[in-house]
Amino acid sequence: MEAACIKSFPPILDYKTEKYVLTKNRKVGAFHRLLHLGILCYIIGWVFIVKKGYQESDSDPHSSVITKLKGSSVTKDLQEYQQRLWDVGDFVKPSQGENVLFLVTNFIATPRQVLGLCPESPLIVDGRCGEDLDCTPGEHVVNGNGLKTGRCISLNSTHSTCEIYSWCPVENESLIRKIPLNEAENFTLFIKNSVYFSKFRFSGANTLKTLDDTYFKSCRYDPVSSPYCPVFTIKNIITKTKNSFEELSLLGGVVRIDIEWKCNLDQAQVCIPQYSFGLQDKNNNFRTATYYWDKERRETRDLLKLYGIRFEISVTGEAKPPKGQQAEQPTINNDETSTNND
């Protein structure tokens, strides 16, 4: 009867006791205690003291970025533009102020284009032809500039292209400037960044709190002597990506600027941003056109294919509060900071 009662209990209700084996070996015992000591040192030394694992942290800061580029250049070797001054309004596309900006370093100019008929560029594969039958009327030129009319036009002894309806004359890639706007390497980029860690009501900025209006006109960033002067030369930024400005200025590229905030509020004033730079891509361009009416009342445009360096700025960070203070924190307020870089 007792055996039948025992069998009726499911195995999940069984209770098991541990069986210990005592090993009298000093080496094994010493290793066992050293292992315990290592775990204890890791938890106390690394987790609590170094990494401050006891603290609450905020790794999602609210951030704002304002950029300003300063500099100018003159081009002298273009017949159409003669001596043209390039300033901030020409160099920076789109307008300044965002966390992304495009610095023009080279261009192809195609002035005074009008709608009409003209030969396609010989650089466009689909626009090349040997006879009229190769140019189907009304067909778009793949990666080209317009619609085929059905005529094959001889450009010289070696090249013939389809006649197209387009903005004429078409862009000529061979007219790219062999000497880019290299003066841009000496331009300065001012990056004003502010962060706010909402969990601890803590705010900070990467600019020095000063009433000196001339400070940001003359200072340059240095992690030791001037960590709160976010003014960089373009050449210095490109050098830190382990590339040369001369190489990127011909066809352009994409440069990443990372701003990382590590705010350890256990230590006074330890909230200095760290900057890092990297090249993400090479060859970067886009086109822009200005439209107007010529003397003959024809709609006309000046086309510019702009090559340049695109700067993309990202901000990350983490803040840890002082011991025993998890609510409202002292605030680094830079509202009175003079950042006049005009």
Q: How many residues does the chain have?
A: 342
Mean pLDDT highest for which of 8-22, 37-51, 287-301? 287-301
Instruction: Considering only residues 325 and 307, tell me which one the structure prediction assigns the higher pLDDT.
Output: 307
Lowest mean pLDDT among 92-101, 113-122, 126-135, 171-180: 92-101
pLDDT bin (cut points 50, 70, 90) of residue 210 is confident
Residue 89's pLDDT is 61
C-alpha–C-alpha distance, residues 93 and 203, integer Å: 31
Reading the block at residue 291, the tokens are 């439209």
What are the Cα distances from residue 282, in Å, to 188, 239, 250, 253, 254?
A: 21, 15, 10, 4, 6
- What's the pTM? 0.71
96-105, 216-225, 252-261, 282-291: which range is least confident on average? 96-105
Contact 188, 71 (CB under 8 A): yes
Yes or no: say if 263 and 59 are a contact pair by the CB < 8 Å rule: no
> What does DSSP say about strands 231-233 and 202-205: parallel, antiparallel, or unpaired?
unpaired
Taking Cα atoms as reference points, which of 195, 196, 198 lies closest to residue 206?
195
pLDDT of residue 78 exceeding 50, the answer is: no
| Placement of tokens 């195609």 in the chain | 110
Per the prediction, the chain carries an average pLDDT of: 80
Domain boundaries along the sequence of the chain = 62-109+178-320, 121-169
Residue 31: strand, helix, or coil: helix
The tens digit of pLDDT for each residue in 115-164 reads 999 999 999 999 999 999 999 999 999 999 999 999 999 998 889 999 99
Does the pLDDT at position 230 exceed 60?
yes
Pick 102 or 97 by higher pLDDT.
Answer: 102
pLDDT range class, residue 73, cuts 50, 70, 90 = low
Confidence of residue 299 (pLDDT cuts 50, 70, 90): very high
Q: Rounded distance, CA 241 to CA 244, Å? A: 8
How far separated are the first and last CA of the chain, in Å rounded? 99
Closest to 261 in 3D by CA, of 280, 274, 278, 247: 274
Q: Is 248 helix (H, G, I), strand (E, B) or coil?
A: helix
8 forms bridges with which residues in the sheet? none
Domain 62-109+178-320 class in CATH:
mainly beta
Which regions of 210-322 does DSSP assign to beta strands (E)? Answer: 231-233, 253-264, 274-282, 285-293, 299-320
Residue 337 has pLDDT above 60, yes or no: no
Q: Would you state the structure tokens that stand for residue 100, as one six-digit string?
A: 């992304």
